[in-house]
Structure 1
Amino acid sequence: MSKTNQDKLSQELVDLLQGEKIVSLVTMDAETNKPHLSIVSWLVAHPGGEVIKFALGHKGTSVSNIQQNPEITLGVTGAGSCFSIKGQATVSDIIEKTMKYRVVTVQVESVEDIIFYGGKVTVEPDYVKTYNEDLAKKLDAEVYEMLNEK
């Protein structure tokens, strides 16, 4: 991907963002109006590269921040680089399953390759889930079913 701004995700980024990635979420704090950083991993980019959906706990700080100000930035490391994805987000009503969730739908407005000059990502960040493996599988199945709905 070139260093130019684009108005949707490339196919490579759509393919990359199919869950289980460490993605930074920047919202504006509803009380202080200062940037708030959190991490999401339950995230799916939809075909065409214009929509990303991710799940949050129903009472998360990011939920109230997005409800107050829908402009968000997602920071993605992968596909050989680092990307800033900006868009307008909406938050669903509470969805009650094993946990209470909210689904955030982002209409992508811009995608920018932001790695420093001459930089290339050679290894993507990875993580493990440290809680009950069966519960992790159950939660993942529920969430990805919700996120893949049209």
Structure 2
Amino acid sequence: MEKLTEELIQSLNGGKLVSLITVDAGNDAPHLSSISWVLANPTGEQVHFAVGAKASVIENIEKNPNVILGVIGAGSSYAIKGKVYQTESFDKTIKIQTFSVDVESVEDVMFYGGKITVEPEYEKTYKKELAEKLDAEIYEALDGLNKDHVAS
């Protein structure tokens, strides 16, 4: 698959726990981060995400733009491979950096005979009002990327 299915697009809209795999800028080893500020482009050709402005993945991406987004959803486990580029930084409640991934391939990586029956859930452990404010600001920024940027 070269783009996201409609079911994956829906799965990636708002608060999904996603694994971001980059290449460590210091030692060229794989680097795994968990992210949740993720939004798929309605065309399925891009995925946008945000991280805090001091996140180690920023340096990794600057050195090597090849990434994998690991997603458990839509009944299976997927590896979304692509090239990522920095889009904008925002300084609102906290400083964040947004990115867009041009989707090159989507692979179902679930083991043979397996099916996801319950998706992972998480809970934000800081102030509820702050979490809601951050989420609103960041998803507004990510939604703006859907309007401003198209896949190359």
Deviations 1:34-63 (A, max 9, x none): 000000000000111001000001111101
Q: Could you tell me which residue of structure 2 aligns to residue 80 of structure 1?
A: 75
> Do the aligned partners of 2:88 and 2:99 also contact (CA within 8 Å) in 1?
no
How many residues are matched? 145
Q: What is the Cα deviation at residue 91 of structure 1?
A: 1.3
Listed as ranges, the gaps of 5+ residues in structure 1 are 1-5
Distance 1:94 1:33 in 2: 25
Note the 1:93-112 alignment, pairs <5 A.
93-112=88-107
Among residues 89, 96, 102, which one is paired with 2:84 in the alignment? 89
Q: Could you tell me which residue of structure 1 aligns to residue 150 of structure 2?
A: none
Among residues 30, 34, 38, which one is paired with 1:39 in the alignment? 34
SS in structure 2 at match of 1:63: helix
Matched, 1:134 2:136: no
TM-score if structure 1 supplies the norm length? 0.95
Matched, 1:12 2:7: yes
Distance 1:7 1:127 in 2: 29
> Do the aligned partners of 2:68 and 2:80 also contact (CA within 8 Å) in 1?
yes
TM-score if structure 2 supplies the norm length? 0.94
Q: What is the Cα deviation at residue 93 of structure 1?
A: 4.2
Letter in 1 for 2:121: D
Among residues 137, 144, 149, which one is paired with 2:139 in the alignment? 144
Listed as ranges, the gaps of 5+ residues in structure 2 are 148-152
Matched, 1:117 2:117: no
